[in-house]
Amino acid sequence: MDDVCQATTNGLGPQPVTYHSAGGLICLGLMHELPKASPTLAPPHQIVAICTCPDLSLPNRERMLAIEPCDNSLTTEICYLGMRIYTGVDIPPSSVQAGTIHTVPIPPSKVLDPCYSPAQGDPAVFREAGTKLVIVNAEWDVLFPDAEQYVQKLARAGVDVTYIIGQKQFHCFPVALDASPECRIAADLIVESVVRNGEAFHQRKKSQ
């Protein structure tokens, strides 16, 4: 994210960023930190977040568990593990072996910090920065319910967000490209959105 934002200093102007899974979470979260940490750097004009986890509180756990048998690439237990690694929580080996990672607590201060849980923050940060969002979600991804809820919150706040849903698709399916027609279609839609939003951004800059 620092490299993307620094590009404006090199005369390239604000850049788009595209990341999947935890990478999407980091990009969305850092948008809440950027105004405080680097107020002189221009934010990315577009963020594409593919199959990401926007809320470490996991408000839709029952729906996640219901989807889990359909997700062939991600489980709720892996989500619990990743969340604790991401927030720097020590994980006892015994909890990994016993499948009880979810019982290892994450400090509430991090669960509620929008840098770690973008859905906990004010979505106006994207609108005020002029950053357009493309959120890609998969129906058979355990993260689907939380991502869908986040998109609804963004839309209510007036954020410019494009929402792409892969029906009966798995976690990070567009990255698989030619694994199925749906993967290729989603990848093409992402490229189309990046190009369209990029052209609109540069047209606005020229008219200013």
Query: What is the pLDDT of the chain when averaged over all its residues?
Result: 85
Q: Does residue 10 register a pLDDT over 90? A: no
**pTM of the predicted protein model:** 0.84
Residue 8's pLDDT band, with cuts at 50, 70 and 90, is very low
C-alpha 179/C-alpha 140 separation (Å) is 16
Q: What's the average model confidence in pLDDT over 111-125?
A: 93
Q: Which residues contact 73 (CB under 8 A, 6 or more apart)?
A: 170, 171, 172
User: Which amino acid does the sequence have at 66?
Assistant: A
Nearest to 118 by CA among 146, 78, 145: 146
Say what the pLDDT of residue 147 is.
96
C-alpha 138/C-alpha 148 separation (Å) is 10
Residue 202's pLDDT band, with cuts at 50, 70 and 90, is low
